[in-house]
Amino acid sequence: AVRKAMYDKAVAPLSNQTRNPFVLDQGWVRGTGGLDDQDRRILGDLYCNATSVFEYGLGESTLIAARVGVPRYAGVDSDAQWVAEAREKSGKTHFRFYFADIGKTGAWGNPTMPS
């Protein structure tokens, strides 16, 4: 009974979260991560209807999640500075960001040294 109650609490929607449809307007700053406008709209629709999101790799999709008001979000990246920037840019205190130290990285957080 205790486990069931804990599970129910963990997966319950956060009632105080406002959901906003994603609108690709003139104020949206497009990233350089490979999303085109159709991808942005599709991702915005998916995230607007999602109860939780986990991302490996932070970027424009993280900001889309913030704009639509995803109630539960966790993201991980291999660049500590990028994690800090994403946390700040999202403006969401309930989003959880994690740094995965995989050693020295290059472009797009790829490791530069073989493991």
What percentage of the chain has pLDDT greater than the value 70? Answer: 92
Write down the domain spans for the chain.
53-106
Q: What is the pLDDT of residue 89?
A: 95
Tens of pLDDT, residue by residue over 39-93, are 999 999 999 999 999 999 999 999 999 999 999 999 999 999 999 999 999 999 9
Secondary structure of the chain: what % helix, strand, coil (to 5)?
40, 15, 45
Strand ranges across the sheet with 73-77: 53-56, 73-77, 96-99
Non-local (6+) Cβ contacts of 23 within 8 A are: 44
Question: HSE (CB half, 13 Å, CA atoms) of 64?
Answer: 29
Q: What is the dihedral of CA 17, 18, 19, 20, to 10 degrees?
A: -150
How far is residue 43's CA from residue 65's CA, in Å, rounded to a whole number?
9
| pTM, rounded to two decimals | 0.80
Query: 30 with 60: CB under 8 angstroms?
Result: yes
Question: Residue 15: is its pLDDT beyond 70?
Answer: no
What percentage of the chain has pLDDT greater than the value 90? Answer: 61
Question: Residue 114: is its pLDDT beyond 60?
Answer: yes
Give the H or E element holding residue 39. helix 37-49
